[in-house]
Structure 1
Amino acid sequence: MKHMVFGVLSGGIVILFVVMLLTMQHKNVRKEELEQSLTEAMETTLQMVKTDADKDYTSEEMRALLIRNLVPQINSDSELTVRMLAADVEKGLLSVEVEEYFSYPGGKKGSIQCCRTILAEEDSEETEKGEKEVAMQTVIFYRSREEMEQGESYYKKLEIQKGDYCISPAEPVCDDLKKKFLEWRDSKDYLADFTQCVEENQTYYAVFE
């Protein structure tokens, strides 16, 4: 009997240890993915701005480019909070803070944070955290109107600074592979207009044909 109890306890400890290792590994993989994706998105954004020298980019337009370059690289089951800490076109400066919320395989919620500052002229990079609080708006994308009405699962969820632009995410894939993505529509069935600044929470659903 004593040996049986000892065996059960030992087995429980081993299982707990394995779960802890898997949780740490999952978080590390997520963090590495976010750091790499954010760095690549920022470098791509600054390169696009430098290449298009004839256009005078505003900080809002740089944010829009960054979001467009970052969103397709992040897993669709995560939630992102994107904060622009600094954006100076003349200096080629871009400073960003991104927080990603996700679920571990067992269902437990987790989050990771990544801060990056890139200065194109000096080709340098450093980590920095901002202190300024800004108003944020939630923008949610669903794969269908049915999913939007149920509100149980979504395709993308973004936290965008009020007054910034929201860029259409990568096109989702329909369960019916014969159908192709057509467009995004808002909760009132109007065609999505991503040329307008985000002033309030928005909800969109995908339309396939």
Structure 2
Amino acid sequence: MRRAADGADSATAWQAASLLLGYPDEELMGRRALLRRAVQGLAPTVREPLSGFLDHLDAIRLPDLAADYVATFDHRKRCCLYLTYYAYGDTRKRGAALLRFKRAYRAAGLVLDDGELPDHLAVVLEFAATGNRAEGRRLLVEHRAGLELLRLALTEDGSPWAAVLDAVAATLPPLTGRNRDAVARLAAEGPPEEDVGLAPYGAPYGAPEGAGPVPLPDPVRSRP
């Protein structure tokens, strides 16, 4: 019998996934053995995809991994790691959603670096694992449709990071009818004022009247 992921499993899986979704560097490669030990006791639905991604890390050179990361997450909007982007695009509503993330972090005593957006999936997973598990889980569930769209985009592209999203999805409730409808709608129409995502991603949502784009900084991430 395959057991489901419990609370402790989820925290461990979120911490591992947070590290694996960050920009790959020597520090990450040096943590592979530690990560393998950490995921070994997780439920199979969580352990197997994470172990598969760690196998990928063992088989690839760091420069190639880094180049693949940039090509996947920096150059493909449909593989965006910023959760609020899927629901709000670059509208003022996205700014309000980002504030909700910041308030949740501040309540838990977490202060982000200047310029680091709070909805980056690696940041949210880190918060859920080490900050406030219940609040972090709430944020992930609230953006379940965006997570699923990202997972599907990575799967469609044959990306090794799809396994990491599979593990994250295994820690969350199954998609409901409402969330399935949201995924289908996003896949067909894309985020507000954007034409990105899974094919075909046709006409974008119409933004609310008077809601123009809000310039948002990119997170501070190391690049060679």
- TM-score (ref. length: structure 2): 0.23
Greater relative contact order structure (CA < 8 Å, 6+ sep): 2
Return the index of the structure with the highest Cα Rg: 1
Please identify which structure carries the higher helix content: 2
Please identify which structure carries the higher strand content: 1
- TM-score (ref. length: structure 1): 0.24
